[in-house]
Homo-oligomer: A and B are copies of this chain.
Amino acid sequence: MDNEPLINAIKTVVDMPDEDLSMLLSCVTRHELKKGQAVLEVGQVCRHFYFVDEGYLRTWYNKDGVVINLNFTFEKGFTSNLRSFKSRSPSEYTIEAGEKAVVYIFDWDKIAAQHIDLPLVALFVRRVAVRLLLASEEHSELFKIYTPAERYHFIEKNNPRLLQRISLSQLASYIGVTRETLSRIRSKN
Interface residues of A in 27-72 (CB under 8 A from B): 61, 63, 68, 70
In the complex, what residues of B have CB within 8 A of residue A140's CB?
Answer: 136-137, 139-141, 143-144
Q: Give the distance to chain B from A45, nearest Cβ to Cβ, in Å.
A: 15
Interface residues of A in 133-151 (CB under 8 A from B): 133-134, 136-141, 143-145
Docked pose: A86 CA to B126 CA in angstroms: 13
Interface residues of A in 108-151 (CB under 8 A from B): 126, 129-130, 133-134, 136-141, 143-145
A90 within 8 A of B: no
Give the total of A residues in contact with B, Cβ under 8 Å. Answer: 22
Query: For chain A, what secondary structure do more than half of its interface residues adopt (helix, strand, loop), or is it mixed?
Result: helix
Contact with B along A68-87 (1 / 0, CB 8 A): 10100000000000110010
Docked pose: A138 CA to B70 CA in angstroms: 13
In the complex, what residues of B have CB within 8 A of residue A70's CB?
Answer: 141, 144
In the complex, what residues of B have CB within 8 A of residue A143's CB?
Answer: 140, 143-144, 176
In the complex, what residues of B have CB within 8 A of residue A141's CB?
Answer: 70, 140
Q: Give the distance to chain B from A175, nearest Cβ to Cβ, in Å.
A: 10
Q: Could you name 15 residue pairs across A and B whose Cβ atoms are closer than 8 Å?
A: A63-B145, A82-B134, A83-B134, A130-B130, A133-B133, A133-B134, A133-B136, A133-B137, A136-B137, A137-B137, A137-B140, A139-B140, A140-B144, A143-B143, A143-B176
